[in-house]
Amino acid sequence: ESLKFQQSAGILVNPRPNEGDYTKYSFPSKTIEYLAAGSPVVCYKLAGIPDDYDAYLQYIESNSVEALKEKLESLINLPDENRKSIGSKGREFVLREKNSFAQCKKIVGMYEELFSAKTWNNSNAVALVGRLQAPYSSVQFLGRSVHTP
């Protein structure tokens, strides 16, 4: 039922501001859900949102209510076909790039790279964890502690 409401919305908003250290490691799950609904998604650029989402999200310029209002007004004032195009591009992106098959392919690629490596070191592990965009500063991987920058 919530999907129907999301699909009927002209604009979807995630108002979580980029404040606090946790946003470095935070990716709001609603972002993918909102993009998949096919409406423009307005949000603040959290440090934990990977750059490949940037072309599909409508970022609020600063952490203020006024900036949120300005972003919403700018989208509301667009012709309907422009808003629909923004939403469609976001939907296509998540359906193509963020589906379960695409994510599994990344994981399989990571394992293939790991097991084909001649030597194991912390740099290899950091690079592999970073490819998954893991929101952790330290993780256990194959029984080893991997610290990401």
Which band of pLDDT confidence, cut at 50, 70 and 90, is reported for residue 120?
low
pLDDT the model gives residue 76: 96
CA distance 52 to 40: 16
Q: Is 51 left (phi over 0), alpha (psi -120 to 50) or beta?
A: alpha
Which band of pLDDT confidence, cut at 50, 70 and 90, is reported for residue 117?
low
pLDDT higher than 80, residue 79? yes
Which of these ranges, 5-9, 36-40, 67-71, has the smallest mean pLDDT? Answer: 5-9
Mean pLDDT of the chain: 82
CA distance 127 to 87: 32
Over range 59-79, report the average pLDDT: 94
CA distance 94 to 74: 24
* 20 compared with 69, residue with greater pLDDT: 69
